[in-house]
């Protein structure tokens, strides 16, 4: 055996077992999910291939459209709000020396919490008086009360808030890392030219942070598109109510698969989710390649 043959053999012996794992636990299930999407299957009986029927049913299902619009609402509210907040905090936190570590820790700790646990904390906060902290506090200073989780319009933002809150810490530390990577000479040159800090922010900082921003937009988009834990734990019986007002795609998938055992419909919706994520990734690659 030549040296290169020997090394090749060694390589395969290293990756052999992991490769089998990836084939059995990642590839095969991925293909299987696509194939189930085209069946009518209650998980115990025979799989019946029905072509695109599941997708046609979804298209005609008003609840599916509500679910899809909720999902986009999470995405379109969550991404800009969380990125704006985290950028502003990171931008100023980066300039602060006194108590920097303490402040950073306070912003970062929510990222380490368990979504399920925090969903219940926030659910408590949102309760009507005399239980909920927020309404209790608002009552003390005599302003109006909110229905939060009981209202079809307020529930979705109320569920979204803990998701944004928990993700901020991650985005802030990534932004700070990005800010520190901007060459200091750029700033010095700008200062010599007498640029204002607003001008520096627009012309130097933000363009330099482009790849950081793209990265965070993609990561947080993927996160908000897949929101589940908060909705399941904050709404009555985990239904995504009231009246489906908070139900996102993943909860709808979960209900279809593990409560109604309509595996075909559930898999079809995972294909929709996959397509959405694929589109985001492609857009990201396009932007970064420029």
Partner 1 sequence: MNKNKASLNPKKIIIWTFLFIGAVIMMTPIIFMFSASFKYNDQIYDLTLFTSDFTLDNYIYLLENTDFIVWLSNSLFISLFTTFCVLFFDSLVGYTLAKFQFNGQKIVFIAILSTLMIPTEMLVIPWYIIARDFGLLDTYLGLILPGIMTGFGVFLMKQFFEGVPDDYLEAARIDGVGEFTIFIRIALPLVTPALSALAIFTFLGNWTAFLWPLIVSSSAELFTVPVGLASFSGEFQSDWELIMTGAALATLPTLLVFLILQRYIIRGVVLGGLKG
Cα separation of 14 and 21, whole Å? 13
Does 93 help bind partner 1 (rule: CB under 8 A)?
A: yes
Q: Is the peptide bond before 130 cis (omega within 30 degrees of 0)?
A: yes
Q: What minimum distance in Å lies between the beta carbon of 198 and partner 1?
A: 13
The one among 55, 274, 283, 287 contacting partner 1 by CB under 8 A: 274
Of 36, 39, 34, the C-alpha closest to 49 is: 39
Does 112 help bind partner 1 (rule: CB under 8 A)?
A: yes
Cα separation of 3 and 36, whole Å? 46
- Total residues in contact with partner 1, by rule CB under 8 A: 93
Does 75 help bind partner 1 (rule: CB under 8 A)?
A: no
Written as six digits, the tokens of 204 are 């130097």
In the range 166-195, which residues lie near partner 1 by CB under 8 A? Answer: 168-170, 173-174, 177
The one among 149, 158, 231, 250 contacting partner 1 by CB under 8 A: 250
Cα separation of 176 and 93, whole Å? 8
Does 133 help bind partner 1 (rule: CB under 8 A)?
A: yes
Does 204 help bind partner 1 (rule: CB under 8 A)?
A: no
Q: What minimum distance in Å lies between the beta carbon of 246 and partner 1?
A: 16
Q: For the CA atoms of the chain, what is the radius of gyration?
A: 24
Q: What minimum distance in Å lies between the beta carbon of 175 and partner 1?
A: 10
Contact window for partner 1 (CB under 8 A) among 63-71, 73-81, 143-151, 268-276: 268-276
């Amino acid at each position: 055996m030549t040296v290169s043959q020997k090394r090749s053999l060694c390589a395969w012996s290293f990756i052999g077992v992991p490769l089998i794992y990836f084939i059995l636990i990642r590839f095969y299930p991925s293909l299987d999910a696509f194939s189930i999407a085209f069946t009518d299957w209650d998980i115990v009986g025979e799989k019946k291939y029905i072509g695109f029927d599941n997708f046609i049913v979804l298209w005609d299902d008003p609840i599916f459209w509500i679910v899809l619009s909720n999902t986009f609402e999470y995405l379109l509210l969550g991404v800009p709000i969380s990125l704006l907040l985290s950028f502003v905090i990171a931008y100023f936190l980066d300039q602060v020396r006194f108590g920097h570590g303490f402040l950073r820790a306070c912003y970062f700790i929510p990222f380490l919490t368990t979504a399920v646990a925090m969903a219940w904390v926030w659910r408590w906060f949102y309760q009507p008086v005399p239980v909920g902290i927020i309404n209790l506090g608002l009552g003390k200073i005599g302003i109006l009360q909110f229905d939060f989780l009981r209202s079809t319009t307020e529930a979705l933002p109320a569920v979204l808030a803990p998701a944004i809150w928990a993700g901020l810490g991650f985005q802030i530390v990534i932004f700070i890392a990005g800010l520190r990577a901007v060459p200091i000479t750029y700033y010095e040159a700008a200062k010599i030219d007498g640029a204002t800090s607003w001008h520096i922010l627009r012309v130097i900082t933000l363009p330099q942070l482009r790849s950081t921003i793209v990265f965070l937009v993609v990561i947080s988009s993927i996160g908000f598109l897949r929101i589940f834990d908060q909705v399941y734990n904050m709404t009555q019986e985990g239904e995504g109510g009231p009246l489906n007002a908070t139900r996102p795609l993943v909860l709808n998938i979960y209900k279809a698969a593990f409560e109604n055992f309509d595996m075909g419909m559930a898999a079809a919706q995972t294909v929709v989710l996959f397509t959405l994520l694929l589109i985001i990734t492609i857009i990201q690659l396009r932007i970064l390649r420029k």
